[in-house]
């Protein structure tokens, strides 16, 4: 029998620019015309963002000569599902979108994940652009190429790594963001300060009022610091084989808490609780000094983010919810644990008993 070799060694440049300015629209129009990522564009957003920004943006782009159609879905994490993806794909098919067309994701983390996932599978892949409208998506999810949807078993269990063509960040979108959603993004920003750069925590501590009052200069500084950290990590490890895992600090317990609450607790809130829990375990195991843990907790409390969740009294629910964690390998979960601010370690040496003790403290 003859041996047939299929050689697929290749080098692909997926580099892209993140444009962080309030006057993003002029650059967007120029780029759409110059780069021709698509002959026409599917602007995907949720129902709320469509009303606030989607229809208006589409009309401005049409006046500039860009062919565009708006497709929306009901807002909320509960709609981050394969059913939503199927409906969007059917609507795009009905409107005759082809392989030489592209997607614009306008919205928060849910929209970015859904639209990015659609772009990776529609016609076996078409380009997409990210325009985040929430603080959470600006500091984190719009950069790095993670896409996906949830299942009844867990968060983001179906997805792809698909890098956008470009990311346009305009902090003025935050003017219509509820305070609760702003805090959602602060939770992720705190994560970056703990895992990589204590200067982020310093900025958060000194500028709470300016951040919550939507000071453009401070917000752009915060967003820039966070996405620079993420960009460096993604450049080293795009597919989360090792280094990129540190971005999941607080997320193993956070995702489980989201699931237990049926997504009534928002992502940033759940991550805040998750960070406090893993910090407690780290202190108990003498990996992290109590004063360092308290310093992190103090910033979480300063912004009014939660540190406890009453349903953690039943640790069995949390343990069950972590079984399908994507960091699971050989039956063990890899936990991201800070040993000082700005430095973390990756360990499997956390037992159910450690988790049960942390649940008691944070319920």
Indicate which CATH number applies to the domain containing 251. Answer: 1.20.1090.10
Q: How far apart are CA 275 and CA 57, in angstroms?
A: 37
Residue 327: predicted pLDDT: 65
- On the question of pLDDT at 326 being above 70, the answer is no
Q: Is 244 a catalytic residue?
A: yes
For residue 334, report the phi and psi dihedrals to the nearest 5 degrees. Answer: -90, 115
- Catalytic site residue from 3, 9, 10, 124: 124
Per the DSSP assignment, residues forming a β-bridge with 336 are: 346
Write the CATH number for 157. 3.40.50.1970
- Catalytic site residue from 80, 155, 245, 251: 251
Statement to judge: residues 162 and 206 lie in one domain: no
In a domain? residue 7? no
Q: Is 235 a catalytic residue?
A: no
Statement to judge: residues 146 and 190 lie in one domain: no
- Catalytic site residue from 48, 50, 80, 146: 146
- Catalytic site residue from 155, 267, 326, 362: 267
- Catalytic site residue from 79, 170, 184, 248: 248
Q: Give the mean model confidence (pLDDT) for residues 134-147.
A: 97
Q: Is 230 a catalytic residue?
A: yes
In a domain? residue 112? yes
Reported as a single tens digit per residue, the pLDDT across 102-135 is 999 999 999 999 999 999 999 999 999 999 999 9
For residue 58, report the phi and psi dihedrals to the nearest 5 degrees. Answer: -60, -40
Q: Where among 117, 148, 171 does a domain terminate?
A: 171
- On the question of pLDDT at 215 being above 90, the answer is yes
Q: How far apart are CA 187 and CA 267, in angstroms?
A: 8
Q: Is 267 a catalytic residue?
A: yes
Q: Is 285 a catalytic residue?
A: no
CA dihedral 259, 260, 261, 265 (to 10 degrees): -60
Q: Is 269 a catalytic residue?
A: no
Residue 1: predicted pLDDT: 61
Residue 140: predicted pLDDT: 96
Q: Is 362 a catalytic residue?
A: no
- On the question of pLDDT at 332 being above 90, the answer is no
Beta-strand runs (E) in the chain: 17-20, 41-46, 68-73, 102-107, 128-132, 149-151, 154-158, 166-169, 328-329, 332-333, 335-340, 343-347
Statement to judge: residues 222 and 299 lie in one domain: yes
Residue 322: predicted pLDDT: 86
Statement to judge: residues 260 and 321 lie in one domain: yes
* CA atoms within 13 A of residue 304's CA, in its CB half-sphere: 9
Q: How far apart are CA 361 and CA 363, in angstroms?
A: 6
% of the chain at pLDDT higher than 90 = 87
Contact call for residues 339 and 351 (beta carbons, < 8 A):
no
Averaged pLDDT score across all residues of the chain = 95
Residue 178: predicted pLDDT: 95
- Catalytic site residue from 75, 77, 165, 188: 188
Q: Read off the pLDDT band of 321 (50, 70, 90).
A: confident
Between the ranges 6-10, 105-109, 321-325, where is the mean pLDDT highest? 105-109
Q: Is 62 a catalytic residue?
A: no
Q: How far apart are CA 76 and CA 106, in angstroms?
A: 14
- Catalytic site residue from 80, 155, 191, 230: 230
% of the chain at pLDDT higher than 70 = 98
- Catalytic site residue from 48, 244, 326, 362: 244
Strand order in the sheet with 166-169: 17-20, 166-169, 128-132, 102-107, 41-46, 68-73
- Catalytic site residue from 240, 245, 258, 326: 240
Residue 328: predicted pLDDT: 67
Q: Read off the pLDDT band of 358 (50, 70, 90).
A: very high
Closest listed residue to residue 268, CA positions, set 286, 254, 256: 254
- On the question of pLDDT at 201 being above 70, the answer is yes
Q: Is 255 a catalytic residue?
A: yes
Q: Where among 171, 187, 216 does a domain terminate?
A: 171
Statement to judge: residues 208 and 131 lie in one domain: no
Residue 82: predicted pLDDT: 97
Give the residue numbers spanning the domain of 138.
17-171
Statement to judge: residues 187 and 157 lie in one domain: no
Q: Where among 171, 197, 231 does a domain terminate?
A: 171
Statement to judge: residues 200 and 341 lie in one domain: yes
In a domain? residue 281? yes
Q: Give the mean model confidence (pLDDT) for residues 148-154.
A: 92
- Catalytic site residue from 50, 166, 245, 255: 255
Statement to judge: residues 207 and 152 lie in one domain: no
In a domain? residue 116? yes
Residue 9: predicted pLDDT: 84
Structural domains of the chain, count: 2
Residue 11: predicted pLDDT: 82
Q: Is 165 a catalytic residue?
A: no
Q: Which of 82-86, 302-306, 311-315, 357-361 has the lowest mean pLDDT?
A: 311-315
């Amino acid at each position: 029998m003859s041996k047939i070799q299929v050689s697929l060694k290749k080098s692909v440049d997926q580099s892209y620019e993140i444009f962080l300015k309030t006057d993003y629209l002029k650059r967007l129009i120029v780029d759409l015309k110059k780069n021709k990522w698509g002959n026409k564009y599917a602007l995907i957003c949720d129902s709320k963002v469509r009303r606030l920004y989607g229809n208006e943006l589409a009309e401005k782009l049409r006046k500039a000569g860009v062919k565009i159609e708006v497709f929306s879905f009901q807002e909320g994490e509960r709609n981050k599902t394969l059913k939503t993806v199927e409906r969007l794909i059917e609507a795009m098919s009905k409107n005759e979108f082809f392989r030489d067309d592209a997607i614009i994701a306008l919205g928060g983390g849910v929209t970015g994940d859904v639209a990015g996932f659609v772009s990776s599978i529609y016609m076996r892949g078409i380009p997409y652009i990210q325009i985040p409208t929430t603080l959470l998506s600006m500091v984190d999810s719009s950069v790095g190429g993670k896409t996906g949807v949830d299942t009844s078993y867990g968060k983001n269990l179906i997805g792809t790594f698909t890098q956008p063509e470009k990311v346009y960040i305009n902090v003025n979108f935050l003017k219509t963001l509820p305070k609760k959603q702003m805090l959602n993004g602060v939770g992720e920003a705190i994560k970056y300060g703990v895992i990589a750069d204590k200067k982020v925590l310093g900025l958060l501590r000194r500028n709470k009022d300016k951040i919550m009052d939507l000071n453009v200069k401070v917000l752009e500084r915060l967003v820039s610091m966070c996405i620079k950290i993420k960009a460096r990590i993604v450049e080293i490890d795009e597919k989360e084989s090792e280094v990129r895992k540190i971005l999941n600090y607080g997320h193993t317990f956070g995702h489980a808490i989201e699931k237990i609450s049926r997504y009534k607790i928002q992502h940033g809130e759940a991550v805040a609780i998750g960070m406090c829990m893993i910090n407690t375990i780290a202190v108990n195991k003498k990996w992290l000094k109590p004063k360092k843990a308290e310093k992190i907790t103090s910033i979480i409390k300063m912004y009014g983010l939660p540190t406890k969740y009453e349903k953690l009294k039943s640790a069995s629910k949390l343990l069950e919810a972590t079984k399908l964690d994507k960091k699971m390998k050989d039956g063990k979960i890899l936990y991201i644990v800070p040993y000082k601010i700005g430095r973390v370690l990756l360990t499997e040496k956390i037992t159910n008993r450690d988790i049960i003790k942390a649940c008691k403290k944070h319920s």
